[in-house]
Amino acid sequence: MPSAVPATHVETFREFNRFYTHRIGVLEKGLLSSSFTLAQARVLFELAQRAQASANEIGDLLGLDAGYLSRIVQGFASSGLITRKPSPDDRRRMLLSLTAAGRRAFARLDRSSRTQASDILGGLSPDGRDRLLSSMQSMRRLLAGAEPRARGRVTIRTHRAGDIGWAIERHGRLYTHEYGWNEEFEALVATLFADFATRHDPVRERMWIAEVDGVRAGCVFVVRNADDPTLAQLRCLLVDPGGRGHGIGRRLVDRCIAFSRAAGYRGMTLWTNDVLVSARRIYEATGFTLAKEYPHHSFGHDLVGQIWTRDL
């Protein structure tokens, strides 16, 4: 165990594993009230995803001991769930395929698994589901050691019911976690979003939500600048950790620029703080230049505020 990992972190990780394995029922004698163990069900699933495969391929994919997998395969063959035949390229290599009975067994397991997932997710609010799925995506990428640019379908859409509440909550949580900002920041964000929700002009002011595989992953909105109505004001750009690495921040800012240009603004402005390095890089890359900066004490910290502008 790496010495740098605090014991409390290790125990939190183990506690979650115990909770989750109990929650989805993998400790039961038969998975999803079936006659299959978890390992048997996983082998069945992998065989159902392909026309045929060798035992070595399935073993490497799942990380199963060769002897243990051999016993699973033998049991499936004895039960009439699979067929085995030599590979035409190498007679020593046996190819496994599900029989009709095997496919029926898989279909029953698959239906039960989908029902279980639907029941668990159905017990959560829409916002709770979004948060859970976003966290699960983050866990998968982190534990797999994958690059942040892991595949995912990104969509950008205008806001709808529930999005503003989500955006306020995510701003509050993320800025507290990543920068230690206090509740003053969440109050400011809530005020800005409330003003947008109750007063915005849909022709010249708009909000966008980014999604990765259907899960909220970012937001931003544009309003008319209060001091100069010929300028668009970009506000509350945020990319959730689960959506980082997909270029979402850049895509959201590009969408703001295109909308503001089409709406007839002559330029854009935004306010940020110098500690928000990733956001500043996006602003620079999309043509904004630093117009002014000044020290201030806000959100429990001494900060350097910045105003960025660009022509349209």
Distance CA 223, CA 231 (A): 9
Q: Which CATH number fits the domain 7-123, given the four candidates 3.30.565.10, 1.20.1530.20, 1.20.5.510, 1.10.10.10?
A: 1.10.10.10
Q: What is the CA radius of gyration of the chain?
A: 26
- Answer yes or no: CATH 3.40.630.30 is held by domain 154-311: yes
What is each CA distance from 66 to 56, 57, 121, 197, in whole angstroms? 8, 11, 36, 59
Highest mean pLDDT, choosing among 15-29, 80-94, 158-172: 158-172
Q: What is the dihedral of CA 155, 158, 162, 167, to 10 degrees?
A: 80
Domain locations along the chain: 7-123, 154-311
Share of the chain above pLDDT 90, in %: 59
Q: Tell me the β-bridge partners of 216.
A: 211
Please tell me the predicted confidence (pLDDT) of residue 281. 92
E-only strand ranges, 263-312: 267-273, 289-298, 301-311
Which of these ranges, 115-124, 144-153, 170-179, 280-289, has the smallest mean pLDDT? 144-153
**Are 7-123 and 154-311 in the same CATH fold?**
no
Query: Residue 156: helix, strand or coil by DSSP?
Result: strand
Q: Is the pTM of this model over 0.85?
A: no
Mean pLDDT, residues 66-85: 93
pLDDT score of 153 more than 70: yes
Please list the alpha-helical segments (H only) found in the chain: 7-23, 38-48, 55-62, 66-78, 100-122, 126-144, 163-179, 183-199, 248-262, 277-285
pLDDT score of 90 more than 80: no
DSSP conformation class of 65: -
What value does the mean pLDDT of the chain take? 89
State the pLDDT confidence band at 151, using cuts at 50, 70 and 90. low
Query: Residue 191: helix, strand or coil by DSSP?
Result: helix
Cβ pair 210, 218 in contact under 8 A: yes
pLDDT score of 260 more than 90: yes
Distance CA 163, CA 217 (A): 11
pLDDT score of 125 more than 70: yes
State the pLDDT confidence band at 87, using cuts at 50, 70 and 90. confident
Mean pLDDT, residues 34-51: 89
